[in-house]
Structure 1
Amino acid sequence: MKRNTKWFLSIGVVVILLVLVFSIGIGASRSSNHANGNLKTIRVGVAPGPYGDMAKNIIGPLLKRHGYQVRITEFNDYIQPNKALNSGEINANLFQHRVYLQTFSQQNHLKLTAMGTVPTLGMGIYSNRIKSLNALHDGATVSLANDPSNLARSLQLLAANHLITLKNNINAATASISDIAANPHRLVFKTLDAAQLPQSRSNVDLALIPGNFAWNAKIRPSSALALEKLQESYKNVFVVKTDQKNSAFAKAVRQVLNSNDFRQRIADSQFKDFAKPNSWR
């Protein structure tokens, strides 16, 4: 009787162990399937510059924890990422600051909403001809972005470095060349598409280049003759269509951008010296 009891107990233990192993295997399989097969693909539009890498290598892995697989779609200008988002070709974009988003959306009757701010590389004044702004000669040529918000931003950077003076009582966010009150160096301005500004350095004395295009052209920020001090409204934002701002994906984005994991990954990355969102202080 004792021998039979021991035999039955042994069989019971083996059966329990087999059940546990089988259950763990099924759980692992389900977990693996969730990680690899049940992710919802999200397409994020970017322009040339560092933000495609930021979306792919930092934001993407964090969103994967929420069930989303990020795919990057790169555009060559500042216009198509917003139009593609509005048409549904992509689900989100990361390339623009709030001022540009507001200006472009109003002008093109788009309903787009920022989910949060990311670390951002500011605009710089670059030159292949001079080593210091003190060496700038009268009549020098200056290339600027031709889109309204970056043009205004360029003029503010020139004014901050005492190269021009802007008129009083103007909206600095929408300033244009006609709003220049004084141009003591008689600077000659050439407005170009922002993507052409890095190449323009060989044809002008100064080029004011937004950070993402400078980065894409492998122009080191340390080589700038001057860098702007970014206001919060000029830091880049992660954007979705307004009718999706309360979606599960949008909520996941907000959680990621506000997380300590995001901050730590930025601190350990090539983006560590970018201007941080004010909320990080």
Structure 2
Amino acid sequence: MSFVRRQFLASAVALTLGVAAQASFAADPAKQSLTLGATVGYNYDVLKRGIAPQLEKQGYKVKLVEFNDYVQPNMALAQGALDANLFQHITYLNRFKTDQKLDLVDIVQSTTAPMGVYSKSRKSLAEAKQGDRITLPNDPSNLARALLLLQQNGVLTVKSDIDPLRVTEKDVVSNPKQVKLQPIEAAQLPRTLDDVEFVVVPGNFATSAGLKFTGALTLEKPPVAYQQVVAVRTADKDTVWAKDLAAAFKSPFFKDVLTKDFPGYTYPQGL
């Protein structure tokens, strides 16, 4: 074998080994598989389109789990069935983990689908009439957001210190037009559009039902306290995989996916 050929082969082997080393160290050597949970709708789609492809490219095997409620994702995370979840805002997470004594922490902000008010019989909330019916989410976290959205639009007034995990319609202190609030399960809200004058729908359930943000009478502009975050167990927050997961939400790839597939959403700060 000639000297030139030996040198070429040696260089090729070195290059191959270098690529292999990069591949093996791209993912956390101690954590090659990740199980991520999200609520049905856009949170699940965000993980599927914007996050899983990045993690898989780094060498992780990613499994996505879909939930239809706001309790099980945190319980599954705390019990180790999930490595991370995406479905809640920081206010809900902090209160839930305190009440349930769970050792969870947020590691990065995600995109947030704005809650909106929809109607088939009214063109604006200004057209609300005496006794109009309004369906809205019955889970306290989203109910708090819905009441604040109605307050911002002059429909009613709520207590200034409402508890986002224990709020009820009884926290309304002023209701000039005596609108009738009907809290129901969030996933069922879009189905009530034909039956009531106004429906307040969380963004994920609106998109799942085919409602477009452009068709809403009004959309919330969620403050940081009501923007979605990714949660992990506190013991995992400084792991390589958790840092890789957080970085995926700050990447140019993620921003491109949001721009293309999630117009009208509230983007993470700094993206």
TM-score (norm 2): 0.87
Bigger shift: residues 248-257 or 235-244 = 248-257
Structure 1 contact 170–179 (Cα < 8 Å) conserved: no
CA–CA distance in structure 2, aligned partners of residues 188 and 57 of structure 1: 39
Among 118, 127, 130, which residue is 1:126 paired with?
A: 118
Structure 2 contact 36–85 (Cα < 8 Å) conserved: yes
Indicate the residue corresponding to 1:5 in structure 2: none
Aligned residue type for 1:171 = I
Indicate the residue corresponding to 2:48 in structure 1: 56
Indicate the residue corresponding to 1:235 in structure 2: 227
Gaps of 5+ in 2: none
Shift of 1:114: 0.8
Shift of the 253–14 alpha-carbon distance from structure 1 to 2, 3 Å rule, reads: closer
In the alignment, does 2:116 pair up with 1:115? no
Shift of 1:26: 5.8
Shift of 1:190: 1.2
In the alignment, does 2:4 pair up with 1:13? yes
CA–CA distance in structure 1, aligned partners of residues 69 and 175 of structure 2: 30
Which string of whole-angstrom CA distances, capped at 9 and with x for unpartnered residues, describes residues 54-99 of structure 1? Answer: 1122112223354423221001212211111111111111111112
In the alignment, does 2:238 pair up with 1:246? yes
Structure 1 contact 140–205 (Cα < 8 Å) conserved: yes
Aligned residue type for 2:261 = Q
CA–CA distance in structure 2, aligned partners of residues 75 and 230 of structure 1: 22
CA–CA distance in structure 2, aligned partners of residues 275 and 13 of structure 1: 58
Structure 1 contact 155–176 (Cα < 8 Å) conserved: no
In the alignment, does 2:86 pair up with 1:86? no
Aligned residue type for 2:62 = V
Shift of 1:16: 3.1
Bigger shift: residues 100-109 or 190-199 = 100-109
SS for the counterpart of 2:136 is strand
Shift of the 61–182 alpha-carbon distance from structure 1 to 2, 3 Å rule, reads: same
CA–CA distance in structure 1, aligned partners of residues 150 and 241 of structure 2: 40
In the alignment, does 2:181 pair up with 1:183? no
Structure 2 contact 105–237 (Cα < 8 Å) conserved: yes
SS for the counterpart of 1:55 is helix
Structure 2 contact 42–207 (Cα < 8 Å) conserved: yes
Shift of 1:23: 4.9
Bigger shift: residues 252-261 or 239-248 = 252-261
CA–CA distance in structure 2, aligned partners of residues 22 and 166 of structure 1: 69
CA–CA distance in structure 1, aligned partners of residues 82 and 221 of structure 2: 31
Shift of 1:34: 7.7
Shift of the 264–150 alpha-carbon distance from structure 1 to 2, 3 Å rule, reads: same
Indicate the residue corresponding to 1:221 in structure 2: 213
Among 258, 263, 275, which residue is 2:266 paired with?
A: 275
SS for the counterpart of 1:106 is helix
Shift of 1:157: 0.6
Gaps of 5+ in 1: 1-9
TM-score (norm 1): 0.85
Shift of the 194–249 alpha-carbon distance from structure 1 to 2, 3 Å rule, reads: same
CA–CA distance in structure 1, aligned partners of residues 70 and 172 of structure 2: 25
Structure 1 contact 46–93 (Cα < 8 Å) conserved: yes
Shift of 1:193: 1.6
Aligned residue type for 1:59 = I
Cα-Cα RMSD: 2.6
CA–CA distance in structure 2, aligned partners of residues 23 and 251 of structure 1: 29
Shift of 1:272: 3.9
CA–CA distance in structure 2, aligned partners of residues 202 and 104 of structure 1: 34
Shift of 1:212: 0.8
CA–CA distance in structure 2, aligned partners of residues 250 and 131 of structure 1: 45
Among 65, 69, 72, which residue is 1:77 paired with?
A: 69
